[in-house]
Amino acid sequence: MGVRVWAPREGRNEVSEDAVLQADSLQGGALWETLETEALACRGCSLHTRRQQVVFGVGSPASDWLIVGEAPGAEEDRRGEPFVGRAGQLLDAMLLAIGLDREQVYIANVLKCRPPGNRDPQPEEVATCSGYLDRQIDLIQPRMILAVGRFAAQHLLGSERSIGALRGQVWAYPRTGTALVVTYHPSYLLRKPVDKAKAWRDLCLARDAYQERVAGANVAS
């Protein structure tokens, strides 16, 4: 934008905008590491007694895209990474279909520890754990959030509506106003592949909305 930041140092020496951005990046990296360390040591709810690993997330914290699911499953708990196994392979294929790969996005869950038997998260578990996701969103500052599955969609939007009612439009994530699109969880699509066509429409909606926002930001700058 041509804005310059000045600081005194034996007179007035110019500090470049790139230097300011680099300092911000370093600070953001330190905050991210602090958050991850805190999450990995969390004992805030009873889920820590059964977990093998905390599943903090995977991908690029500098990404414009954030993919949010519900909670780790058994394989995720074992490997410490969200969306692995058959569901993870399908998610990877879904992302590739719109020109993204796993390393270009950031993938996280509402809960960082696996609920026993893959049951739905309990309200007290969500209350304890969701602050980590909130802070991940604040640090990533994504331009598009893809809510994968009913639970993630209802949690992020503060809604009790069905996933069918939440699909098909671009929402604004209430905390930040970030564009948010809802789609089916890959595990559901493995059980009901007939709905893959609907998921494809969701992905196209998210891709197009993202591209419109990028284009609008470029015009504004």
For residue range 181-211, list pLDDT tens digits in order: 999 999 999 999 999 999 999 999 999 999 9
pLDDT tens digits for range 142-153: 999 999 999 999
pLDDT at 175 over 90: yes
Provide the token pair at 125.
């578990």
Residue that wins the pLDDT comparison between 209 and 20: 209
Domains and CATH numbers, the chain: 15-220 (3.40.470.10)
64, β-bridge pairs: none
Mean pLDDT in residue range 152-160: 97
The conformational region for residue 85 under phi > 0 = left, psi -120 to 50 = alpha, else beta, is: left
Cβ within 8 Å of residue 97, ≥6 positions away: 200, 203
Structure tokens at 7: 């600081």
Flag whether the pTM goes above 0.95.
no
Give the pLDDT of residue 216: 84
Sheet of strand 65-69: strand arrangement: 58-59, 106-109, 65-69, 144-148, 179-183, 171-172
pLDDT band at 219 (very low <50, low <70, confident <90, very high): confident
Instruction: Give percent of the chain with pLDDT exceeding 90.
Output: 81
Instruction: Please tell me whether residue 56 adopts helix, strand or coil conformation.
Output: coil
Give the single-character DSSP code of 115: P
Read off the DSSP letter of residue 38: H
Q: Is 99 exposed, middle or buried (0-12, 13-18, 19+ CB in 10 A)?
A: exposed
d(CA 32, CA 217): 26
